A and B are shown apart, each in its own frame.
Chain A
C-alpha cells in the first residue's frame, strides 16, 4: 500500500457519488470527484492519483472510452490502479476494461460503505 491517498471518483449518479465521497473522506482519503467521463478524463490526465474509481455506465464519454483515451495518452505523472465500478452484470465490458488497463471491478450494489473502504484500502 502506497502512501498516495489521492483518489479520483468518476461517477455520474449523484447519490452514489456523494456516498462514496463522504465515506472515503471520512476514512481519511483525499477525494476528487468528476461528474462525467469528460471531466474524469481531464482529471485523470493530470495524473498523480493513487486510485481511480471509474464508473462504466456514463453518458457522453463512458468508462471504456475513457480508459481507451487514457491508454492512448497516458499522463506524465502516472496514476495508481483503476478500479471499475459497475452495476452491470459481469459483461464483456469488464473484460474489455481489464484489457484497457483496469485492475479490477466492484459491483456497487454489493457493497456497504464500510466494505467499500476495506476494498479501497486493499487496492491502494
Chain B
C-alpha cells in the first residue's frame, strides 16, 4: 500500500517536473521547479526506504540521507519563490553565496553524528535521536521555506489578474504540504519522537502536486495543460489495458480454464492481446475526449467562431457596427473580459470601441506611437520586463495587442484583456486571432471606403438636388414669364381694343347716323377713318392669334368633317361682301369622303383664303373652290380671277407681314394685315396638311390650296395622337376679318 503511494507520488512529481522544465527550459522558475520536484521525488523514495529498514544502522543511514536531501529543499524553494514567475533570478551574489554555503554545510552535517545521533527502533517505530545540528537545520531548511512562503505571500498581495490566481494555488499547495510535512516529519520526529506519521509524508506532497496540478489545469500555470491532459489520458489508457489484461488473464485462468502453463496460456494471451490492439484507438479517443472536457472546459469551436466572424464582417459595411459586432463576438466566444478596437489614420486615433473597461479609457497618440513599435502580436507574458509596451499593458490590464495592418499601413490595434477563466491564451486562441486579424483589417478598410463613398454619395445627391431645384426654379420663372407675356399680350390687346371700339363706333355713327347730311368729302374722310380702324382691330386680332400659335396655346381637336358643307357655309358668310363687288362664288359639287381636321380652324383658314381672294379680285370676277384627291389627303383649292402674284412674291407670301409689294395697294379693297396667310399656314400644318399658292403671273389670277388628311379608320382610331392640347391656358383664335 505504502509502496503504491510512494511510486505514484514519485512518478507524478517527476513527470510534473519534466513537463514544467521542457515547457520553458530557459526560465529559471521552471528550472528551479524541476529541481524541486527531483528533490521531492528523491525524498519520497529515500523516506520510504528509510522506513523499511530492518535495523538501526540502515535506518540511521537512510534517515541521514533523507536529511541531506531535505536540506536542499529549503534553499531551492526559497529561490523558486523569489524567481516565480519570472525568467531570471535577481539576487545579490553575496547573499546567494551565503545561503548556499549554509545549506551545503547543513547538508553535509546530515551525515555527521551531529544531526541525528542515533536511531532507536522500538517495535515498528523508528525513532531517530536528534543532535545539536538539528537546530541549524531548523533555521536553514524550514526557515528558508518559511521565508520563501512569505515572499510568495507578498507577491500575491501585489499581483493581479492571472498571476494572482496562480500564486494563490501555489501558496495553498505549498503551504499545506509543507506545514503538514514539517509537523509530521520534523516536529513529531524531533520533538515528540514519534515517527509513525512519517509514512504519511508522501501523501502530503500529493497536496503540493495536487494544487499545482489544479493551477495548471484550471489556471493554465505554465501552459502545459494539453500535455498533462494527454498524459493523463494515456496513463488511464495504460492502466485500463494493463489492468484488464491481467485481470482477464487471471479470471480465465482461475475460473474458466484451469490450464497448465504452455499453449493454453499462450493462446489466451494472444487472443487478449489482439482484443487490446483493436480496442486501443477507440478507447484512446474516448479518453482523450473525456480528459479534454475536464481540462478544457471553456473551449470553443474555433472553426465556428471564424465562420461567425467572417459572416459578421461580410454583412456589415458600417464601420461602427463592424467594430462593435466583431469585438462583441470575439469577447463573448473566447470569453475575454475586456477588449478594444483602436482605429488610426497616420497614427492619429479616429475611432475606438471598448468593452469592459472601467472607466472608459482615453488612448492618446503617444500610446499609439508606442504600440506601433511592435510589428506583430504582443503577449504580456512573453514580453521582457523592461519593455515599455509591457508596462503599458500592465497599466491598462491588457494581455494581447494585435496590430491591424496591411502591407502598406497600420490601420489600428485590437487590444484584449485576460480571459474570464484566468487561463492564458492557448495556441488555438492565437491561431484564431492571427486568422481574423488580416480579414478584419480588410473589412475595416472596406467599411471606411464604403463610408467615404456614402458620404460622397450624399454630397453628390445634395448637389444634384440643389442643381435640380435651381433648374426647377429657373423653369418656373420661365413659365411665369411666358404666362406673363401671354397675359401682357392679352391685356395689351384689350387696352388697345377699348379705345378702338369707341373710335369705330363713333365714326360709324357719324358716317351712318348723322343728324345733318354729310358732304362727299366728309363721307370720304369718315369712311377711310372707319376702314383704317377696322384694319387696326383686325391687326390686333391677328397679332394675338400669331402670339398664341407661336406659344403653342392653340388647341387642335381634329375630327372627321364634311369639307363640302364647310366650304358652302363659308361662301354664305362672304356672300354679301362678294355681292358688293358682284363677284361670283362657286363651290365644286363633288362627293368627298370625310376629312380629318379641327373644323373651327379650317373654317378660319377658308375664310382667310376666300377673304384674300375677295380682296384681290376685281368686280365681276369669280372665286371658286375645287377639290382633289391626293392619295391619303384631299386638296382644297381656292381659285380666283384676280390680280395674280409674281414669282418673287410667291416665296414671301406665307411669311409674317409678307404682303404684296409692301405698299398700301388698293387700300380700299385689300388692306389685309399681312398675317393671315401665316396663320393659315400654321393652322394647316398643325393638322398635318400643307399650304401652297400658285399663280401664272400678274393679272392671271391665283390659286391658294391646302391639303388635309382623309378621315380613314386608322386615323380615327388614333385621333388622340393628332390632338394638340397645350399645357396651361388654351386660347382660341380671334375671328378672321374678311
Contacts and interface: CB of A to CB of B under 8 A. Distances in A.
Given A13-B502, A87-B497, A91-B729, A107 B509 contact: no
A26 interface: yes
A2 interface: no
Interface stretch (A28-36, A39-47, A59-67, A108-116): A108-116
Contacts of A114: 508, 512
Nearest to B506: A19
A98 interface: no
Contacts of B729: 91-92
A74 B734 CA distance: 33
A19 B502 contact: yes
A110 B537 contact: yes
B728 to A, nearest CB: 10
Nearest to A109: B497
A33 B512 CA distance: 24
Given A19-B505, A113-B508, A89 B734 contact: yes
A90 interface: yes
B508 A88 contact: no
Q: Which of B500, B501, B504, B537 has the most CB of A within 10 A?
A: B501
A100 interface: no
Q: Which of A16, A22, A90 has the most CB of B within 10 A?
A: A90
Q: Which of A109, A111, A114 has the most CB of B within 10 A?
A: A109
B490 interface: yes
Given A90-B732, A109-B537, A15 B506 contact: yes
B498 A91 contact: no
Contact of B498 (A26, A87, A112): A87
A89 B502 contact: no
A15 B734 CA distance: 24
Interface string A47-90: 00000000001000000000000000000000000000011111
A89 B544 CA distance: 8
Contacts of B731: 89-91
Interface string B248-282: 00000000000000000000000000000000000
B432 to A, nearest CB: 79
B498 A13 contact: yes
A90 B493 CA distance: 11
B735 A89 contact: no
Nearest to A116: B505
Contacts of B501: 16, 87, 108-109, 111
B630 interface: no
Contacts of B502: 13, 15-16, 19
5 contacts: A15-B506, A90-B733, A90-B734, A108-B501, A109-B500
Given A111-B505, A113-B509, A114-B512, 18 more contacts: A15-B505, A16-B498, A19-B502, A19-B506, A19-B509, A87-B498, A87-B501, A88-B494, A89-B490, A89-B731, A89-B732, A90-B731, A91-B731, A107-B734, A111-B501, A112-B505, A113-B508, A113-B512
What 8 pairs between A and B have smallest CB-CB spacing? A87-B497, A109-B497, A15-B502, A90-B732, A19-B505, A108-B501, A109-B501, A112-B508
